Chain A
Amino acid sequence: MCGISGVVGEGNVIPVLFESIRNLEYRGYDSCGMAVLGGNDIAVRKNTGGVDEVNQKERLTALQGSAGISHTRWATHGRVTAANAHPHLSYDGRFAVVHNGIINNYQELKTLLKAQGVEFQSETDTEVVAHLLANAYLEFGTVEDALRAVLKQLDGTYALAVISPHQPDHIYAVRGGSPLVLGLSPQRNFAASDVNAFLPFTRKAVYLEDGEMAVLTPQGYTLSRLADGALVTRPPQMIEWDAETSRKGGYSHYMLKEIFDQPHTLTNALHIPRVEIAALAQSIQQARSTTLMGVGTTYFVGLLGQYAFSQLAGVLVQVISSDEFPEVAVVGPGDLVVAVSQSGETYDTRSAVELAKTSGARTAAIVNVMGSTLSRLVDQVIMQGSGPEICVVSTKAALSQMLVLVRTALELGLANGRLTPQAHNAWLADLDAFPDQLQKTLNEMSGFVRNLAEKTAHFQNWLFMGRGIYYPMAMEAALKMKEVTYLHVEGIPAGFLKHGTLALVDEHFATLAFFPPKAATRLHQQTLAAVEEVKARSGPVFGIYQENDHEAAQILDGGIALPVLPAGVAPLMSLVVAQLFSYFAALKLGRAIDKPRNLAKSVTVG
């Protein structure tokens, strides 16, 4: 997903254009750029980073002009570089293009253009559109006809905005499968990916349909069909809702949207090429020691990784919280440090990786934001492909990172002979089936999870506990719960209970137990025993367990009974249920779910 915005109006529109693209930053934020018509030229400024960062680097707001287009990018194909950022200019500098979508046949078009001697500045599919426009203009003589001709050659999905000094004070916008909406006001007119771009300036909007082109001027606009050029009249409508809700695509909070996005993001993580995963496994195999590193949620991701590497590959890796890494880590040449970070900008993790590099260790990272500092810093990077995560509290990014580590452990197990190819394949099959099971469970269990959250919303203190691989799940779930509800939630390995934590338990102190499948007999018995200990002190205990687990159902004061799943994916499923539980608890308590107090998405300071 990317965001595009164009503004044309009286006087200098650049401050408005800048604010509009900033309002679209949630659609993607790895690079950004702006093109402005000034006199007989187009000025283009662009670079990598978020909108504010690019403005600092390139002084976007110092541009001036009465018509401009801009773009904020979330790379899916092509690296994050200044050259790949939009807008793209035609070879003659007479057309600037911003694009959201994918041109499927760009390679063949690119080959044709190259044969004509056109030099390409970027690796993007979009650039072909700019060059084709320059060619078509020579043939047809008007920007509008040139654009119609070019669109006939494109196969793919797009929303495009184009400016050209051939037609000053005009913006051309077309929709073919990606969203586009016009914003209308007496002072200026907008074309943008969604209404957030212009809601602070106008609420009067016209939505384009696929196969339509809009031509905007400071005074107004025309709308026509691409196929036959016929004019379209569509009365504008007033947008009644506020900017924040319209970004959430039918969900009331980003957190819930991102929880429900997990079947999709897990599929992306499963589609990361096996060679990339195997390469990381190979680095681990060759290393003298391996350290997993993250902070906050990503530390618990690492903790899960530790269990996965041990249980699937018979390899014990260290897990160190990034902030403590400088104090405790002893790494040097021959050692491997694997960092996990959603943003790739986390200060503690970045500095720890720099330290590891200085000490001569090999470095790798699992990162969500392409082009981020961390992804450029390390020797080896896996892009998890979870899409923008907006809610401060990480859900989908963390789950995908866990999946990537499990996949890596499987490759390592296969490589070092700990797993037979059959066992390895059986595991992969379980993982492949997981997104669909997760989708089903999210659909069928949401009501139960909400009812449980409402029933327990009066508890001020919580203990989340689990054993074995359910211990990292309990820790991560406790962090989610405290972040989003502001309640006191303590995560512990259930074995800790009688070594101190039990002192806290009374009838006001609630416990959430993460049950392993019954098949894991020893772990299951230990978890039951821990629950008995809490119950014996009058502590109310709730649990996440599998539906065939009658012992758990009997002893608990309530809980969520999940379908029976393979041992490999069951812990991940219980984590998702705990995410949902935290969400509904916070909803009941009226918390600022997407932006909990005192917290920020990407902690880039030390």
Chain B
Amino acid sequence: MKAVILAAAPSDKLQPFTETRAKPMIRVAGRTILDYTIAHLKSAGVTEVVVVVNHLRETIEKQIGHGHQYGLSIEYIHQPQPDGIGGALLRCKEAMNGSPFLLIYGDVLVTGNPYPRVMEQFQEMGGAVAAVTLPRRSGEFGNVYLDPDMRITRLVEKPTDPHLANYVLAGVFLLPSEVFSLLEAQGGDMEQVFQELIGKKQLNATLWDGEWLDITRPWHILEANRMLMDQWENASVHHTVRMENNVHLEGPVHIGSHVVIGAGSVIKGPCYIGHGSYIGSSTLIREYTSLGPDSVVGYGTELKNCVLFGRSVLGRLSFIGDSVIGEDVHLGTGVCTVNFQKGVDDLSVKLAEGPMKTGMAKLGAMIGDHVSIGARHVLEPGSRIRARFQAPDLVTIPTEPW
């Protein structure tokens, strides 16, 4: 079986992180979204994967390569124009070589492996198959109507009616090769192809009842992190890890190779600490923290419900809560994220078009890749720090000339 993963589109909504990386390269619970997808494909028996790329394609190709690490072959196809899913697919026609294939949206995260079920449904029912799921918020997705035999009878994209809570398209399909001729006939419009299949009762659904998340806003990274970590039942510590006196670990904690943890630190799972990281003395790393590889956390710092992509340095005596921090970020001594506002249980963020509710009672800062913030800064709730932003130390008593 072959698979096409859509990873070309830029995503402004996910800034600052998509300023410097393709969307599927966002890291959650220690691994990139694309890494989860490809690993699931491998274990479902997929042998050939085509990733459709454009926006910051080098960030994908450099890390994922040609698939040797996964045991399958990965090819990249360039989609230079934003001509939608249809345009992406038409470019893959030759590579699919007349066989049925999986189509996967690159920004979807699930718990468990949905692909075998989709393949099974394809065999049993024939025709095209779409995985459908029940999200927390149905309004943002393609809502479907099902008949008792699991055929999709209607598709409503992003309905505005708040009284609907349908199953939605989960961004995982198995399509027969005939879809290419339909697509050509419809001028490359994939939604029209779906509508045509639905009209002919040829789009079957398979229910995905595992957790499912489409990451569209930066704070969804925290939700995704929590979703994946909630599945963890075991802890693991690599044999090369060095822990000094009185390190306290509890819950499902995963610690990679060559990590050093200083004396008196407390780590409360679920937590992930990537390989090569250094955790200073007397730090407190609380639930749902994910530290990417080669992170450095200074003495006495507290982390809580946050995702760090890796290679970042957090100065001593800092507090980072409910925040996402990109790669190669330097935060000076005593940087503090403020993660709630008294009396507000649904924090808003400031967008250019106006405030937007996040659904989160606590939310810290979203800090892009390669940011450097000097000592003693305080970041307001729901703040966004663009990639490569620089702020000097906050010095209250400047030195006079000597």
Could you mark each residue 146-175 of chain A with 1 if its beta carbon is under 8 Å from any beta carbon of chain B, else 0?
000000000000000000000000000000
Number of B residues, CB within 8 Å of A: 32
Chain A residue nearest in CB terms to B1: A237
B58 → A minimal CB distance (Å): 34
**What 0/1 pattern do residues 133 to 150 of B give for CB contact below 8 A with A?**
011101000001111111
User: Within 8 Å of chain A (Cβ to Cβ): is B3?
Assistant: no
* Residue pair A451, B136 in contact (C-beta under 8 Å): yes
Given contacts A250-B121, A587-B209, contact A448 B165 (CB under 8 A): yes
Q: Are B149 and A249 in contact (CB under 8 A)?
A: yes
Identify which of A238, A249, A443, A561 contacts B45 (C-beta below 8 A).
Answer: A238
Complex interface: stretch among A212-220, A240-248, A472-480: A240-248
Q: Check: B120 CB closer than 8 A to any chain A CB.
A: yes
Extra A-B contacts (16), CB below 8 Å, given A207-B123, A250-B204: A179-B124, A195-B123, A241-B120, A245-B117, A249-B150, A250-B121, A250-B125, A250-B206, A251-B207, A261-B148, A263-B147, A263-B148, A443-B166, A445-B165, A450-B134, A450-B165
A152 CB, nearest partner CB in chain B, Å: 24
For this complex, 5 residue pairs linking A to B, each with C-beta atoms less than 8 Å apart, are: A179-B124, A252-B207, A443-B145, A447-B164, A447-B166
A450 to B208, CA, bound (A): 13
Distance in angstroms from B148 CB to nearest chain A CB is 4
B164:A444 contact, CB within 8 angstroms: yes
- Residue A18 at the B interface, CB < 8 A? no
Provide the residues of chain B in CB contact with A431, threshold 8 Å: none
A207 surroundings in chain B (CB, below 8 A):
123
A372 to B384, alpha carbons, bound, how many Å? 68
Residues of A within 8 A of B125 (CB): 249-250
B138 touches A240 (CB 8 A): no
B164 contact set on A, CB distance < 8 A: 444, 447
Q: Mark A275-294, 1 if CB is under 8 A from B, else 0.
A: 00000000000000000000
Cβ-based interface call for A83 (8 A): no
Of the listed residues A194, A250, A263, A451, the one surrounded by the most CB atoms of chain B closer than 10 A to its CB is A250
Give the residue among B116, B121, B148 with the most A Cβ atoms within 10 A: B148
Min CB gap B126→A, angstroms: 8
Once the chains bind, are A264 and B150 in contact (CB under 8 Å)? no
As a 0/1 sequence over residues 194 to 207 of chain B, the CB contacts with chain A under 8 angstroms (1 = contact) are 00000000001111
Q: Which one, A237, A263, A444, contacts B166 given CB within 8 A?
A: A444
Residue A256 interfacial (CB < 8 Å): yes
Nearest Cβ on chain A to B100's Cβ, whole angstroms: 11
Which residues on the B side are within 8 Å of A64 (C-beta)? none
Q: How near does chain B come to A438, taking the closest CB pair, in angstroms? A: 10
Contacts of A240 in B (CB 8 A): 44-45, 116, 119-120
Q: How far is A46 from B79 in the complex, measured between Cα atoms in Å?
A: 62
Q: Provide the bound-state CA to CA distance between A445 and B143, in Å.
A: 12
A214-266 residues with Cβ-Cβ distance < 8 A to B are 237-241, 245-246, 249-252, 256, 260-264
Asked if B163 lies at the interface with its beta carbon under 8 angstroms from chain A, I say: yes
Chain B residues at the A interface, C-beta cutoff of 8 Å = 44-45, 116-117, 119-121, 123-125, 134-136, 138, 144-150, 163-167, 204-209
Q: How far is the CA of A65 from the CA of B173 in the complex (A)?
A: 44
Hey, which chain B residues are within 8 Å of A245, CB to CB?
Answer: 117, 120
Q: B131: shortest Cβ distance to chain A, in Å?
A: 9
Nearest CB in chain B to that of A252: its residue: B209
- Is A416 part of the binding interface, using a Cβ–Cβ cutoff of 8 Å? no
Residue-wise interface mask of A (186-212) relative to B, using a CB-CB cutoff of 8 A (1 in contact, 0 not): 000000001100000000010100000
| CA of A4 to CA of B209, assembled, Å | 31
Contact of A107 with B by CB under 8 A: no
Contacts of A194 in B (CB 8 A): 124
Residues 296-339 (chain A) with a chain B CB within 8 angstroms: none
List 7 tightest A-B contacts by C-beta distance, closest first. A447-B165, A250-B150, A250-B206, A264-B148, A448-B165, A241-B120, A252-B209
In the complex the two chains form, is A547's CB within 8 Å of B124's CB?
no
Q: Is A437 an interface residue (CB 8 A)?
A: no
* Interface flags, A437-469, vs B, CB<8A=1, else 0: 001101111111111000000000000000000
| Cβ-closest chain B residue relative to A262 | B148
The complex places the Cα of A357 from the Cα of B365 at a distance, in Å, of 77
- The distance in angstroms between the C-alpha atoms of A448 and B147, with both chains bound, is 19
In the bound complex, what is the Cα–Cα distance between A252 and B120 (angstroms)?
A: 12
From B44, B116, B207, residue with most partner A Cβ within 10 Å: B207
Check if A439 sits within 8 Å of B147, measured CB to CB. Answer: yes
Q: Are B146 and A443 in contact (CB under 8 A)?
A: yes
Whether A250 and B207, one on each chain, are in contact in the complex, defined by CB atoms closer than 8 angstroms, is: yes
Given A179-B124, A249-B124, A250-B121, the answer on whether A443 and B167 have CB atoms closer than 8 Å is: yes
Chain A hits for B124, CB < 8 A: 179, 194, 246, 249
A266 to chain B, nearest CB (A): 10
Bound together, the chains give a CA A445 to CA B138 distance in angstroms of 11
Q: Roughly how many angstroms separate A547 CA and B149 CA in the complex, as a whole number? A: 29
> Which A residues are in CB contact (< 8 Å) with B120?
239-241, 245-246
Most chain B beta-carbon contacts within 10 A, residue among A179, A238, A256, A444: A444
Instruction: Type the 1/0 row for A36-68, where 1 means its CB is closer than 8 Å to any CB of B.
Output: 000000000000000000000000000000000
Residue of B nearest to A249 (CB): B150
**Closest Cβ–Cβ distance, residue A466 to chain B (whole Å):** 24
**Which of A251, A261, A447 has the most C-beta atoms of chain B within 10 angstroms of its own C-beta?**
A447
Asked, given contacts A241-B117, A443-B167, whether A251 binds B45 with beta carbons under 8 Å apart, the answer is no
B44, B121, B125, B208 — most chain A CB neighbours (10 Å): B121
Alpha-carbon distance between A181 and B126 when the two chains are bound, in angstroms: 13
Minimum distance in angstroms from A411 CB to a CB of chain B: 27
A569 to B207 CA separation, bound complex (whole angstroms): 28
Q: Pick the contact of A444 from B44, B136, B163 — CB < 8 Å?
A: B163
Known: A240-B119, A249-B149, A260-B146. A451 touches B165 (CB 8 A): yes
Which residues of B are found within 8 Å of A246, using beta-carbon distances?
A: 120, 124
Chain B neighbourhood of A238, CB < 8 A: 45
Taken together as a complex, chains A and B put the C-alpha atoms of A252 and B44 apart, in Å, by 17
A247 to B220, CA, bound (A): 35
With the chains together, A262 CA to B147 CA distance in Å?
Answer: 10
Task: Tell me, in angstroms, the Cα distance from A443 to B138 when the chains sit together.
Answer: 12
- Residues of chain B lying within 8 A (CB to CB) of residue A447: 134-135, 138, 164-167
A65: min CB distance to chain B, Å: 30
Residues in chain A near residue B167, CB distance under 8 A: 443, 446-447
Given A240-B45, A250-B150, also A446-B119 (CB < 8 A): no
- Which residue of A has the minimal Cβ distance to B204? A250
Contact B148 A446 (CB under 8 A): no
Q: Which residues of A contact B144 (CB under 8 A)?
A: 443
CA distance A599 to B257 in the complex (A): 48
> Please, which residues of chain B bring their CB within 8 A of the CB of A263?
147-148
Inter-chain CA distance A448–B116, complex, in Å, is 28
CA distance A595 to B135 in the complex (A): 26
Bound together, the chains give a CA A148 to CA B191 distance in angstroms of: 42
Contact check, A446 vs B165: say whether CB atoms are below 8 A apart: yes
Please indicate the chain B residues that have their CB under 8 angstroms from the CB of A237 in the complex. Answer: 123
Q: Which of B136, B147, B163 contacts A547 (CB 8 A)?
A: B163
Smallest beta-carbon distance B59→chain A, Å: 31
| Nearest-CB residue, chain A, relative to B208 | A252
For the complex formed, measure the closest distance between the CB of A455 and the CB atoms of chain B, giving whole angstroms: 11
Query: In the docked arrangement, what's the CA distance between A446 and B207, Å?
Result: 12
Highest count of chain A CB atoms <10 Å: which of B204, B205, B206:
B206
How far is A237 from B149 in the complex, measured between Cα atoms in Å? 25
A-chain residues with CB within 8 Å of residue B163 when the two chains form the complex: 444, 547, 561
The chain A residue sitting closest to B135, CB to CB, is: A447
- Cα–Cα distance between A383 and B19 once the two chains are bound (Å): 65
- When chains A and B are docked, how far (Å) is the Cα of A74 from the Cα of B161? 42
Alpha-carbon gap, A241 to B135, bound state (A): 25
Is A446 touching B150 in the complex (CB atoms < 8 A)?
A: no
What chain A residues lie within 8 Å of B166 (beta carbons)? 443-444, 446-447
CB closest residue in chain A, given B209: A252
In A395-423, the 8 Å CB interface with B consists of: none
Shortest C-beta distance, A4 to chain B (Å), equals 16
B150 close to A251 (CB less than 8 A): yes
* Nearest B-chain residue to A253, judged by Cβ: B209
